[in-house]
Amino acid sequence: RKEVEQDPGPFNVPEGATVAFNCTYSNSASQSFFWYRQDCRKEPKLLMSVYSSGNEDGRFTAQLNRASQYISLLIRDSKLSDSATYLCVDTTSGTYKYIFGTGTRLKVLA
């Protein structure tokens, strides 16, 4: 089993829709995660942190479910500019290395 797994998508949603995707992780001791966003042909950039208590930043909400070992990202009122690949990152499984998922691609359609 991969350390971090994501559905590659693409998730095609209309503007204004709410979309959510999950990321499963294999290390039961992991406690800290990030969501990164990567635009086409660009470098990944931090979107938000994911803590046990959850995290909300505007239209974006991240949750951690430790019992089922997954994290989620919810995007409300999707914008065309949200179209990107979203990478899940486990920050505690590796000693010095963050473990990146392969990403979920989101396309927001006009």
Partner 1 sequence: NAGVTQTPKFRILKIGQSMTLQCTQDMNHNYMYWYRQDPGMGLKLIYYSVGAGITDKGEVPNGYNVSRSTTEDFPLRLELAAPSQTSVYFCASRNGLAGGVADTQYFGPGTRLTVL
Q: Between 1 and 41, name the residue whose CB sits nearer to partner 1.
A: 41
Q: With binding defined as CB under 8 A, does residue 52 bind partner 1?
A: no
Three-state SS sequence of the chain: CCCEEECCCCEEEECCCCEEEEEEECCCCCCCEEEEEECCCCCCEEEEEECCCCEEECCEEEEEECCCCEEEEEECCCCHHHCEEEEEEECCCCCCCCEECCCEEEEEEC
Q: Between 45 and 79, name the residue whose CB sits nearer to partner 1.
A: 45
Q: From the CB of 30, what's the least distance to partner 1, in Å?
A: 10
Stretch binding partner 1 (CB under 8 A), from 15-23, 43-51, 57-65, 68-76: 43-51
Here's the x/- map for partner 1, 66-105, by CB under 8 A: it reads as ---------------------x-x-xx---xxx-xxxx--
Q: From the CB of 107, what's the least distance to partner 1, in Å?
A: 14
